[in-house]
Homo-oligomer: A and B are copies of this chain.
Amino acid sequence: MTPADAYAELVRRSKELGVLNSCAAVLGWDQQTYMPAKGAGLRGDQMAFLAALSHQKFTDPKVGELLATVEGSDLVKSPEADAAANVREWRRAYDRATKLPEALVSEMARVTTQAQQAWEQAKRTNQFATFRPLLERVVELKRQEADAVLNCGTRSSERGVKAADKPGGPDSPSASIPNSEFRTPHLYDALIEEYEPGTTVADLKALFAGLTAQLVPLIQKFAHLPKKPDRSVLEREYPVDRQKLFAESAAIAIGYDFAAGRLDTTSHPFCSGFGPGDCRITTRYNPRSFSDAFFGVLHETGHALYEQNLPAEHFGTPLGVACSFGVHESQSRLWENQVGRGRPFWDHFFPRLRQAFPAAVGDVSPDAFYAAINDVRPSFIRVEADEATYNLHIALRFELELALLSGDLAVVDLPDAWNTRFTALFGLPVPDDTRGCLQDIHWAFGGIGYFPTYTLGNLYAAQFMAAVKSQLGVESLESDIRRGEFGRLKEWLVKNIHRNGQRYRAAELCRRVTGDSLSPAPFVAHLNEKYTALHAVC
């Protein structure tokens, strides 16, 4: 078989897998939106069937042979070639998938399903103890997963999934896992690599150290102004049907195509891109809160614009897939925060807000509203945090994940470690685990390594926005936005970010687009500028 034939066959298989995986995406969306309660059992069987089929098709040894035929051929000589990017990402995913023993994959699915149920109950009843045994299993399995990826298949599958059963297993992990400081690479590298290929623990540690050092004094300064913004204006009567219309109009204004999507209601908002022509978003409405639904919709629309503008002709192949979780998050944060919490945006939308909600904001000035949506205030819940404190929530989780994975922190000690570090960072005592280490679902579904992509998203968003401003001109761009015109900004993102798919890794994309490596500087500058101006008003 010629390299060209092998590449064509890889593309065919990859596109078929794209279609297969998109079926699971539809079922996943339905599960969150409209599935009746008693349909959960069948849905589990359907998802397991599709996942197993997808795994089986992708880890077919034939895929490895085809990859070997293309690699080293002229097809991939130029790193700019379509084939080079596709082959690079197929190889990464294929190696990862084939290194994971079947038994580990199915055990992970089983344990994380149980862990999510246990987590829900533990969070509701504020009982960490009921979640602890399952979190211990998750951490142990994630260690095994990381070990399998880093040290190749053989050794890890010998240790297999039984390691946790041996005496002194999950409860004394430091006995079998050497301290992280003595290992290169860190086990965590293998986990973050699933979400942010090419990013390492070393990169993240440097980034968080720099960021936190600047954020702590900044928050200290702006969270304790003598005159605080009045947040209560956001907690008046906002009728749900009007919230929906208002949020939809904003989503349309910034470029979401409702003929290729929908907005539904779920308890946990999300965006799901099935493939070309079908990317759906959800939100939740609270009749006594404006921010939840509105900024949620802006956020999910940001994700959706990325999905709706991926190159359809590459659907199913890496060139048709978003670059990384961090870059995906940058698109949601850019529209939610950089644009949606900005003054020019509300110069356009505030008169419309008053028209839609006269009872709630008829007596509120534009300045007071703008101050309310930008109030900096340390709080317990990550998803309710402001732009500045948000990243401290992530820094805390990153630190604890590293310690859990290295074995420096045992799961049983997690609540104490959380509370101690939280108070050190935020200056507040944690009232209970529900508002502490039990607040997020991520660890229950095995998403260790996921959290840092939220902060990466915030930093990329600020750095991309700084690049847009310098390329289009600050005045000109803000004048667009003040008139409710978002076309040039969206087109810039489509051209520079969306259309590239996975042509470049995130770090390279950032350098190409902004001329610089990722840095906390543009983000910190953005906050300083915004809050200083706001302080002058208050």
- Check: A20 CB closer than 8 A to any chain B CB: yes
Please give me the residue from chain B that is nearest to A39 by CB atom. Answer: B278
Q: Are A275 and B22 interface neighbours, CB within 8 A?
A: no
Chain B residues within 8 Å of A280, by CB: 36
- Check: A40 CB closer than 8 A to any chain B CB: yes
User: Which residue of B27, B39, B260, B262 contacts A277 across the interface (Cβ within 8 Å)?
Assistant: B39
Q: Are B23 and A49 interface neighbours, CB within 8 A?
A: yes
Q: Are A277 and B41 interface neighbours, CB within 8 A?
A: yes
Q: Are B36 and A278 interface neighbours, CB within 8 A?
A: yes
User: Which residue of B46, B262, B276 contacts A19 across the interface (Cβ within 8 Å)?
Assistant: B46
A277 to B46, CA, bound (A): 13
A257 to B37, CA, bound (A): 11
User: Which residue of B37, B42, B274 contacts A39 across the interface (Cβ within 8 Å)?
Assistant: B274
Chain B residues within 8 Å of A38, by CB: 257, 259-260, 276-278
Contacting B at CB under 8 A, from A1-46, are: 16, 19-20, 22-23, 26-27, 30, 34-43, 45-46
- Check: A400 CB closer than 8 A to any chain B CB: no
Please give me the residue from chain B that is nearest to A264 by CB atom. Answer: B34
A45 to B277, CA, bound (A): 12
Hey, what's the 0/1 contact readout for A312-350 against B, CB within 8 Å counting as 1? 000100000000000000000000000000000000000
A49 to B57, CA, bound (A): 14
Please give me the residue from chain B that is nearest to A49 by CB atom. Answer: B19
- Check: A492 CB closer than 8 A to any chain B CB: no
Q: A19-B45, A46-B23, A49-B20 are in contact. Are A37 and B275 (CB under 8 A)?
A: no
Please give me the residue from chain B that is nearest to A24 by CB atom. Answer: B23
Q: Are B262 and A42 interface neighbours, CB within 8 A?
A: no
Q: A30-B30, A41-B277, A276-B41 are in contact. Are A262 and B20 (CB under 8 A)?
A: no
A190 to B22, CA, bound (A): 36
A369 to B500, CA, bound (A): 64
Q: A42-B274, A275-B42 are in contact. Are A50 and B36 (CB under 8 A)?
A: no
- Check: A261 CB closer than 8 A to any chain B CB: yes
Chain B residues within 8 Å of A34, by CB: 34, 262, 264
Please give me the residue from chain B that is nearest to A315 by CB atom. Answer: B42
Q: Which of A46, A262, A264, A315 has the most CB of B within 10 A?
A: A46
Please give me the residue from chain B that is nearest to A316 by CB atom. Answer: B45
User: Which residue of B19, B30, B260, B278 contacts A26 across the interface (Cβ within 8 Å)?
Assistant: B30
Q: Are A22 and B36 interface neighbours, CB within 8 A?
A: no
User: Which residue of B20, B37, B257 contacts A259 across the interface (Cβ within 8 Å)?
Assistant: B37
**A401 CB to nearest chain B CB (Å):** 35
Q: Are A50 and B23 interface neighbours, CB within 8 A?
A: yes
A20 to B53, CA, bound (A): 11
Q: Which of A22, A23, A43, A262 has the most CB of B within 10 A?
A: A23
A30 to B29, CA, bound (A): 10
A264 to B41, CA, bound (A): 22
Q: Are B26 and A277 interface neighbours, CB within 8 A?
A: no
Chain B residues within 8 Å of A260, by CB: 36-39
Chain B residues within 8 Å of A258, by CB: 36
A49 to B275, CA, bound (A): 15
Hey, what's the 0/1 contact readout for A250-275 against B, CB within 8 Å counting as 1? 00000001111110100000000011
A518 to B209, CA, bound (A): 81
Q: Are A36 and B261 interface neighbours, CB within 8 A?
A: yes
A259 to B280, CA, bound (A): 24
Q: Are B42 and A277 interface neighbours, CB within 8 A?
A: yes
Q: Are B275 and A36 interface neighbours, CB within 8 A?
A: no
A315 to B264, CA, bound (A): 31
Chain B residues within 8 Å of A35, by CB: 278
Please give me the residue from chain B that is nearest to A20 by CB atom. Answer: B49
**A112 CB to nearest chain B CB (Å):** 21
Contacting B at CB under 8 A, from A466-518, are: none
A278 to B274, CA, bound (A): 22
Q: Are B30 and A46 interface neighbours, CB within 8 A?
A: no
Chain B residues within 8 Å of A36, by CB: 258-262, 277-278, 280
16 contacts between A and B (CB under 8 A): A16-B49, A19-B45, A23-B46, A26-B27, A34-B262, A35-B278, A36-B260, A36-B261, A37-B259, A37-B260, A38-B278, A39-B277, A39-B278, A42-B277, A42-B315, A43-B278
Given contacts A20-B49, A38-B259, A38-B276, 17 further A-B contacts (CB under 8 A): A19-B42, A19-B45, A19-B49, A22-B42, A23-B23, A26-B26, A26-B27, A34-B34, A36-B258, A36-B262, A37-B259, A37-B260, A38-B260, A38-B278, A39-B277, A40-B277, A42-B275
6 closest A-B pairs by beta carbon, nearest first, are A39-B278, A38-B277, A38-B260, A42-B275, A39-B277, A19-B49
